[in-house]
């Protein structure tokens, strides 16, 4: 049978060749992971899940997964997930009680996100309670930058003509792909299918073997951009009562690439002007950061106003879920069209240091300036105040780039 599955994140393991590392300009090595590193799904819920699906009139295949994220070199807790075919998902529409019952036995009720701005764009970003697992964006321009997700899948099916569920003994992966949710994570770059499947946005899914026995282990190399992902596998069942059948599987709940805990710089037109909104990053999408960054900005603007009577200008901070900010925007240039027939414009750039906003991904950096056309005295005053409240400040083009105390990009002392 052919199955399509939604895969979540993979993991810091699997020797990559540079050809596989399409997420950034760097090529990293990742140790190979074995199935022993990821728990095999516990099938004690299988009959219960099968009974719930059978009550809705479904008697086809489904899958249970266990995923382990590895972020910044640290392993996260295993998270169980459920994957269904399109026919099964269609049966859940209009049946919230059944969906809740399925979620209660095989997916977390919610993920705690200290601060989340989903109300900004509810149509394109899933609430924390609607996500199966969350993983941090990769940061390939610093150590331990590759976030990964390892997932073990066990596929199940009904014996023909019965209500009995069995574990599929093996299968063949016929095809797989990952799709990004359009405009998720603050990225309003286009609606083309090409943009949704670009490796720099979706990462790389490694399936070590085209055929498997027992469980299927996958490794997902997470991209640098924030967003939400769906992955799809087409599998053929090998062995068992339904030998040769195919089916398509999708996660009951999506997975997300997010940095959480950011707060938005509040509007305060008595102290500063918030600027920098564009069609691809509207202003209310890019004014986010950690509390320490917001505090440093407000302190700077307050002191500058007290000394000069002028308003500071605050440009880009981070997108509300963090991650890579821009697609191929070099200093002094405008954004190139990602929806065009030039895919090299999308989610890329030759090296990180040639792309503006390369650092604006952790909620710890901001671009800011004094008023328009400040006097030389005011500019010197502004710089002195910046150095009081930020851990590091540097001129960057026509503005100043401030890093707060926890920025991973602070210069290393010699």
Q: 224 is written with which tokens?
A: 């640098």
What is the rounded CA–CA span in Å between residue 32 and residue 43? Answer: 26
What is the rounded CA–CA span in Å between residue 252 and residue 413? Answer: 48
Q: Which residues pair with 199 in a beta bridge?
A: none
- Residue 38's alpha-carbon distances to 80, 166, 218, 333, in angstroms, are 11, 22, 10, 45
Provide φ and ψ at 78, rounded to 5°: -65, 145
CA 55 to chain centre: 35
What is the rounded CA–CA span in Å between residue 78 and residue 89? Answer: 24
Mean pLDDT of 26-54: 70
Strands, E assignment, 187-334: 204-206, 211-213, 216-221, 227-237, 246-251, 255-257, 263-264, 272-274, 288-289, 312-314
For the chain, give every residue range classified as CATH 3.30.1380: 263-403
Tens of pLDDT, residues 336-348: 555 444 545 555 5
Tell me what the pLDDT averaged over the chain comes to: 82
The least confident of 165-169, 176-180, 229-233, 331-335 is: 331-335
Tens of pLDDT, residues 262-297: 999 999 999 999 998 877 778 888 899 999 999 999
pLDDT band at 22 (very low <50, low <70, confident <90, very high): very low
Q: Following CA atoms 322, 8, 199, 237 in sequence, which dihedral angle do they give, to the nearest 10 degrees?
A: -170
Q: CATH: 3.30.1380, 3.30.70, 2.160.20, 1.25.40. Which one for 263-403?
A: 3.30.1380
pLDDT at 351 over 50: no
Residue 32: what pLDDT? 43
Q: Which residues pair with 264 in a beta bridge?
A: 288
3-state DSSP call for residue 53? helix
- Residue 317's alpha-carbon distances to 281, 313, 321, 401, in angstroms, are 11, 12, 11, 10
Residue 333: what pLDDT? 47
Mean pLDDT of 225-248: 93
Nearest to 215 by CA among 20, 67, 52: 67
Residue 101: what pLDDT? 86
Q: How would you classify residue 161: left for phi > 0, otherwise alpha for psi between -120 and 50, otherwise beta?
A: left
What is the rounded CA–CA span in Å between residue 149 and residue 65? Answer: 12
**Could you please report the per-residue DSSP string of 300-361?**
HHHHHHHHHS--EEE---B-TT-B---SS-BTT-PPPPSSSS-GGGSS--S-GGGBTTTTTT
Spatial contact of 265 and 365, defined as CB atoms under 8 Å apart: no
What is the rounded CA–CA span in Å between residue 151 and residue 18? Answer: 22
CA angle 233, 10, 99 (to 5 degrees): 60
Q: How many CB atoms lie within 10 A of CB 298?
A: 18
pLDDT at 108 over 90: no
The least confident of 49-63, 210-224, 238-252, 269-283 is: 269-283
Name the percent of the chain lying above pLDDT 90: 49
């Amino acid at each position: 049978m052919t199955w399509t599955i939604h895969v979540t994140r993979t993991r810091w393991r699997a020797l990559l060749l540079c050809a596989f590392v399409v997420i950034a300009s760097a090529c990293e090595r990742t140790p190979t992971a074995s199935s022993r590193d990821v728990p095999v799904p516990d099938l004690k819920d299988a009959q219960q899940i099968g009974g719930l699906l059978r009550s809705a009139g479904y008697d086809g295949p489904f899958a249970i997964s266990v995923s382990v994220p590895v972020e910044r070199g640290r392993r996260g807790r295993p998270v169980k997930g459920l994957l269904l075919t399109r026919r099964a998902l269609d049966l859940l529409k209009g049946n919230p009680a059944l969906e809740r019952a399925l979620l209660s036995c095989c997916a977390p009720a919610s993920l705690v996100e200290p601060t989340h701005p989903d109300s900004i764009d509810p149509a394109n970003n899933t609430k924390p309670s609607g996500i199966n697992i969350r993983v941090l964006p990769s940061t390939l321009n610093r150590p331990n930058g590759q976030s990964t997700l390892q997932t073990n899948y066990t596929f199940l099916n009904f014996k023909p003509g019965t209500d009995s569920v069995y574990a599929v003994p093996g299968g063949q992966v016929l095809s797989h792909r990952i799709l990004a949710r359009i405009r998720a994570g603050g990225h309003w770059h286009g609606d083309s299918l090409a943009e949704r499947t670009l490796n720099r946005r979706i990462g790389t899914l490694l399936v070590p073997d085209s055929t498997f026995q027992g469980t299927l282990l996958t490794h997902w190399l997470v991209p640098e951009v924030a967003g939400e992902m769906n992955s799809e596998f087409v599998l053929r069942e090998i062995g068992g009562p339904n030998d040769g059948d195919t089916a398509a599987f999708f996660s009951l709940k999506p997975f997300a690439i997010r940095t959480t805990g950011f707060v938005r710089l509040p509007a305060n037109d008595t102290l500063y002007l918030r600027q920098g909104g564009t069609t691809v990053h509207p202003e209310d999408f890019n004014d986010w950061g950690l509390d320490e960054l917001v505090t440093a900005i407000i302190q700077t603007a307050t002191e500058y106003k007290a000394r000069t009577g002028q308003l500071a200008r605050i440009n880009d901070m981070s997108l509300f879920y963090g991650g890579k900010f821009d697609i191929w925007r070099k200093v002094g240039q405008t954004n190139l069209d990602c929806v065009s027939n030039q895919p090299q414009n999308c989610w890329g750039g030759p090296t990180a240091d040639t792309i503006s906003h390369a650092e604006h991904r952790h909620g710890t950096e901001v671009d800011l300036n004094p008023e328009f056309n400040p006097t030389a005295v005011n500019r010197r005053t502004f710089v002195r105040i910046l150095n009081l409240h930020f851990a590091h400040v540097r001129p960057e083009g026509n503005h100043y780039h401030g890093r707060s105390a926890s920025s991973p990009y602070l210069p290393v002392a010699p």
